[in-house]
Structure 1
Amino acid sequence: MSDPLRRDNVLVDADTLPPPHIRRQLRIAANLTQEEVAEVIGVRRLAIVGWEAGHTQPHRSNRLKYAEFLRGLAKKHPTVAQGGSRED
């Protein structure tokens, strides 16, 4: 039998975002523009600007896509994901 609290934690983890400055650093480490990230997520560039600045947060479906995208970047750039400097 599955534990409903554990299932809820998985949902929370699935859409957990790093702090805004880490989001920006991950994008830069991957040599991506805000426009390129916006195309992947399916939003306008200004949405990425707001998310990286911490002024706005993505809605649920975009949040899930963005969190998954950032997790992929974090795997490629673990030092950046942990708050370290950009990897070259």
Structure 2
Amino acid sequence: MSDPLRRIDALVEEGTLPTLKVRQQLRLAAGLTQTEVAEAIGVKRLAVAQWEAGRAQPHRGNRRAYAHFLRQLAVKYPAAAIEEASDEG
């Protein structure tokens, strides 16, 4: 998906998660640690680390909570929600 508006639309859809890079960019833009994100969602830090690294995906309720969390960060830090087209693989 190369169009920035389509990427943003995908980010705000219920349960849709942004790319791995954008997940981390949003967290860092907010100045949050993986531990802080984990505590907010109700999971262990390792889960957030795995979600950001693409080694695991959040399930059901955690996915909805994580997607909601990321949407809120995207509203607050819109520049962090954009992944440069040259960075996509």
The TM-score range, normalised by the shorter chain, is 0.7 to 0.9
Please, which runs of 5 or more residues in structure 2 have no aligned partner? Answer: 1-12, 85-89
| Displacement over 2 Å in runs of 4+ | none
* Larger CA Rg, structure 1 vs 2: 1
Give the drift of 1:82: 1.4
CA-atom RMSD in angstroms: 0.9
Q: Could you say which residue in structure 2 is the equivalent of 1:40?
A: 40
Give the drift of 1:79: 1.0
Q: What TM-score, normalized by structure 2, do the two folds share?
A: 0.78
Please, which runs of 5 or more residues in structure 1 have no aligned partner? Answer: 1-12
The percentage of aligned residue pairs carrying the same residue is 58
Q: What TM-score, normalized by structure 1, do the two folds share?
A: 0.79
User: What does 1:23-34 align with in structure 2 at a 5 Å threshold?
Assistant: 23-34=23-34
User: What does 1:1-88 align with in structure 2 at a 5 Å threshold?
Assistant: 13-83=13-83
